[in-house]
Amino acid sequence: MNLVGKHIVVTGGGTGVGAETAQTLADAGASVTIMGRSEAPLQVQNLPYQLCDVTDAHAVAEAFDAARTDHGPINVVVANAGAADSVPFSKMTPDQMQNMLSVNLIGVSNVWQAALHDMKAAGSGRLIAIASTAGLKGYPYVSAYCAAKHGVVGLTRALSLELASNGITVNAICPGFIETPMLDRSVANIVEKTGMSEKKARTSLYASNPQKRLIQTDEVAGTALWLCSDAARSVNGHALSLSGGEI
């Protein structure tokens, strides 16, 4: 899958899925710009980067303009930046709900809009969101996260129809629990709140996966690579589940 000549932006590109995806796409020949809020993890990836908080539309526009100036029009955006907070709905504050919507849903909208002019001008493009199985089903204690990821799937399905005639495809990748630093924080939170052992807490997260394992970052990166390729040019409006058959 040759991506030579393509300029791809990956948000949340400093760690975990974002870092793996960015490197996979770069290895396929793409010019990749990674974006994130913290400079230190971006610096170690050995890829061009821009500092950017995806919840700030003005900052997103500036970061995309800088990336465009350095590496040309943007052909693909992988909207990966996200966060997950766990709290019972009865105790959730309006700010907690807003924060989850801002980074996980509004952030996707902001970065997709920032590249849309380039793609329309080219008559082709790929908009990809790293969503979650939480966009396809519910999970307890993460209601705000589920609401945001369901929103991403809805946005994906709507835009796939709106932009199809422009040669742009829009898809969401929906992994189950992925072995990343964010999952480590979730495990630590379960241990703290329940007294469960770390091993049991980790096992509980993938108990519903028929393969009884965590999803790996290279699986998500490989799916993104395929969606960027010509082989996936008719794949549009899908929420692709990477969950071992859970959903």
Residue 121 forms part of a structural domain: yes
Residue 247 forms part of a structural domain: no
Distances (CA, A) of 142 to 1, 80, 83, 90, 151: 37, 18, 11, 11, 14
Residue 2 forms part of a structural domain: no
Question: What is the pLDDT of the chain when averaged over all its residues?
Answer: 95
Query: Which pLDDT tens digit goes with each residue over 35-91?
Result: 999 999 999 999 999 999 999 999 999 999 999 999 999 999 999 999 998 899 999
Question: For residue 152, which of 211, 185, 206, 110 has the smallest C-alpha distance?
Answer: 110
CA distance linking residue 158 with residue 172, whole number of Å: 12
Check pLDDT > 90 for residue 112: yes
Mean per-residue pLDDT, 225-239: 98
- What are the tokens at 94? 């309006």
Check pLDDT > 80 for residue 181: no
- Among the residue ranges 29-33, 131-135, 194-198, the one predicted with the least confidence is 194-198
CA distance linking residue 138 with residue 117, whole number of Å: 35
* 165-190 per-residue burial string, b: 16 or more CB within 10 A, e: under 16: eeebbbbbbbbbbbbbebbeebbebb
Residue 1 forms part of a structural domain: no
pLDDT at 194: 84
Residue 185 forms part of a structural domain: yes
Query: Which pLDDT tens digit goes with each residue over 2-21?
Result: 999 999 999 999 999 999 99
CA distance linking residue 92 with residue 181, whole number of Å: 24
Residue 27 forms part of a structural domain: yes
Residue 217 forms part of a structural domain: yes
Residue 176 forms part of a structural domain: yes
Domain of residue 61, CATH code: 3.40.50.720
Residues acting as catalytic residues: 145
Q: What residues make up the domain containing 56? A: 7-242
pLDDT at 10: 98
Q: How confident is the model at residue 115 (pLDDT cuts 50, 70, 90)?
A: very high
The number of domains in the chain is: 1
